[in-house]
């Protein structure tokens, strides 16, 4: 896991915003908020083009982090390969809340666990609409970040992830 030290981003850097995915730092602005001058990262979420402002001083607290490394990608693939997932007989909405909480942490490892667990669950039973959407969200977050980290197409990354699930 990455240390929660203050990571400084520059304009043009890629950063990951929890539950939103990879963003580009398009500007660093200063604004007066309640009489205090604060610096903000202006982020553009690559997937949606949505703009988000994050106080520089609060970036670590909200979970803003650097794009993952090749070593972290290997760890994600190891998580996706794991087979020992036990599902108790929770209702789908309790499972859904647990998965949503993991996605919101911003940890790529938590998102990988959600993707793996929902993918495995899908082979055993019909997923609810919410779970199918969450599976798509988790897949998109992981695929986009790995594609950017490796400078690959999303299609190449999707194929690699599908191969992991097909092999297991």
Domain architecture of the chain: domains with CATH: 14-66 (2.40.10.170), 70-167 (1.20.58.1290)
pLDDT digits (tens, 9 = 90+) for 84-93: 666 667 777 8
pLDDT at residue number 1: 39
> Distance from CA of residue 26 to its chain's centroid?
20
pLDDT of 128 over the 50 cut? yes
pLDDT digits (tens, 9 = 90+) for 132-144: 999 999 999 999 9
**What's the rounded Cα separation, in Å, for the pair 80 and 71?**
15
Confidence grade of residue 123 (pLDDT, cut at 50, 70, 90): confident
pLDDT digits (tens, 9 = 90+) for 103-113: 988 899 999 99
**What's the rounded Cα separation, in Å, for the pair 45 and 15?**
9
Q: What is the chain's alpha carbon radius of gyration, rounded to the nearest angstrom?
A: 17
Confidence grade of residue 2 (pLDDT, cut at 50, 70, 90): very low
Q: Angle between the 154-167 and 70-81 helix axes, to the nearest 10 degrees?
A: 40
Cβ proximity of 124 and 89 under 8 Å: no
């Amino acid at each position: 896991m990455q240390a929660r030290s203050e990571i400084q981003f520059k304009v043009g850097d890629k950063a990951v915003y929890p539950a939103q995915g990879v963003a580009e730092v398009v500007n660093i602005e200063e604004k007066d908020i309640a009489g205090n001058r604060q610096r903000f990262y202006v982020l553009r979420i690559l997937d949606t083009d949505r703009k988000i402002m994050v106080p520089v001083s609060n970036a670590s607290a909200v979970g803003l982090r650097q794009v993952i490394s090749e070593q972290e990608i290997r760890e994600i693939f190891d998580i996706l390969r794991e087979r020992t997932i036990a599902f108790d007989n929770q209702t789908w909405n309790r499972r859904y809340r647990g998965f949503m909480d993991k996605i919101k942490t911003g940890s790529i490892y938590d998102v990988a666990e959600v993707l793996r667990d929902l993918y495995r669950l899908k082979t055993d039973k019909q997923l609810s609409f919410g779970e199918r959407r969450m599976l798509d969200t988790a897949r998109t977050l992981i695929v986009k970040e790995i594609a950017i980290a490796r400078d690959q197409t999303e299609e190449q990354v999707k194929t690699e992830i599908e191969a992991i699930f097909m092999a297991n």
